[in-house]
Structure formats: structure tokens, C-alpha cells
Chains A and B, each alone.
Chain A
């Protein structure tokens, strides 16, 4: 691996750590009565204070049965609402800051107080992290991997909730973003990042691949080298849990190097390790 490549990965790793640090800091400050809007603002302010000026998307916060996207029909329902947190309620913080031109997109699932069902969902996400990495290394088509994740969820007894995301994606490509003094966003998504995604989509359309990892035909291709923000999202009767982190896919012939998780020192991974 070249030095430039290593430096680039380090940049992504740093911003992903920053994003997870933000999620953990905000999660620790959540109390009964806090609204989704307040939680989203806390994330925004925390990251602004640490130099974040642009976003892939503005921070989201979902509480209670909104973690499982119960009754979601239109994309506007993803935006934070006045729903207040209560004891025992699950929550998800989803944030995607751009820092020094590097993008991260992370999802943090937590719960206010003990909730055994939520713990079970979180524990069951581990199998999905392993399955995705294994099948990406096998260079299976993204659509097939999507279907395998779907089947595993059904076998576990859960519903696939990433299907509710735009285009039903389980993952999307992320990339470096040019730093501009003015970085507007539309519908919560940074214009610079959207531009990058649109460019990828255009190129991909010509070459037969897509930056969106979906259940549809346009994702019927082997994994494309690059950085993918992978976000399997489980739902079970009003309780939802997800993780989101960066998967690095390269064109190396060595299976180990052909795909790997950017960072293995993340809250959900540490949690699984502690449980063992």
C-alpha cells in the first residue's frame, strides 16, 4: 500500500473516530425528556466546536419506535422530531461529518437504561458485520450480499429496516470532499457530498456499477474499490438497532487486503468483545 493511500485512510479513520466520540459524548448526555431535535443539535454543536464545517448529512436522532422507522412513509420522517426520550427507550444517533475534507458516516445505537431486547438486537448485529466482510472478500455481487443479509435477518426473526432508507440502501460510497468556505446543504445532505455521489452515479451508470448498495438490479455487480459506509439496520416490533462504519474495498488480490473494516476499535465492536 502506498504512503498516500495510508495517509488517506488515516484521515478517514480520524474523522470516523471523531464522529463516534461525538455520538458517545452526546449519548452520555441524553436524559429523559430530551427531544430528537435537541439531540441532533447537541451533535451538531459538538462537532462544530471541533472544526467540522461540512456534512455528508446533518446529524439524525431517532427515539423509541422511530428507531425501527415504524410508520415511515415519506423521507421527511427521517428528520428529528419533538419526540421525547423516556427511560428504557432505545435511540439511534446517525451523523456524517466532513472534517479536513474526509467524510465519515456513523450510526450509534443505544438505550436509556437497561433494555434486554435492545441488547439482543445489538448482539445480533455482529453476525451481519462478519457476513458482509466475508462475502465482500469473496467478491459476491452486492445485490446477492444484500439478499443474504436479508435472509439472515429473517432467520434471526427481525425485519430489514435499511430498506426504508432512500433507495433501500444497506451502504453507500463515501469519498473525499473539497473544502469550501461556503458549504450549503439541501434536505439535510451536504451539496459537496451529493455532487460526489452524483458524479459516481453517472460514471457508474456508464460502467455498470452504482455508489448505492441496494436490492435492485443496478447493484448487481461485484464490490467496487473505494470506501463504503455500511449500515445494516435491524427492526423488531418497535425497537431498532444499527451500526454504520466504513468498509474499505481495494483491488488487491490478497483476500485479507481486498476488503477490511477501516477501524476495529469502535463502540459496538468493543461491546461484542467484552461480551465474549
Chain B
């Protein structure tokens, strides 16, 4: 099945981006396609390459990048939400792209299921 995921909270502050990531990984293991992850609200903070967590903590941003590379997952950051919060092409991590809210609507129309993770 084709799945879309929406992430509404930033990394580390809230568990939602961890839950979304683990859900995505489990879906891929089960043979489903994670067609797009759309980052909205503070979720856009998942996309900054300036993140530097302590050595013994998970690197949430790199984890998304790796998922995108290995499984061709489309990571889309909402442009309006991103600009409000200082996420721009120059600090965007690998594997993410900035685009409009139409990409979220498209995830809704194209995917068999759309699931939201947030606060």
C-alpha cells in the first residue's frame, strides 16, 4: 500500500517525529511504500542540517536523510511553515526539499492512507 505521513512537531522536543520515523520503517519492512513524508508546523525543524545532538543520542535529521536515500522516500517541507521558522535551502539537510502545501493535498489524494503525527 502507498502511505503518506505528516509530521507536525520538531525533533527532540516531542516524540512525534520518532514515532513517525519508526512507523515509516515498520511500513517499509512490511512491504508498503512510504510515498511522502510532509513536514508541517514545527515539524519543519526536522529538516535542518545544523542539528548537532550529543554523541549518545539519536540523530533524527540524519535518520530521515538515510531513510530517503535507502527507500526513495520523498521528504517535503512546507515552504510557508519553513520560512516562518528559518528553514531555508541553505540549511536544508540532504534528502529534504521545500515545496508548497499542495504537496500535502497531493499526498492525501495519491496515497491509500495518510497518517498524522503531532502534539
Q: Do A and B come from one complex?
A: no
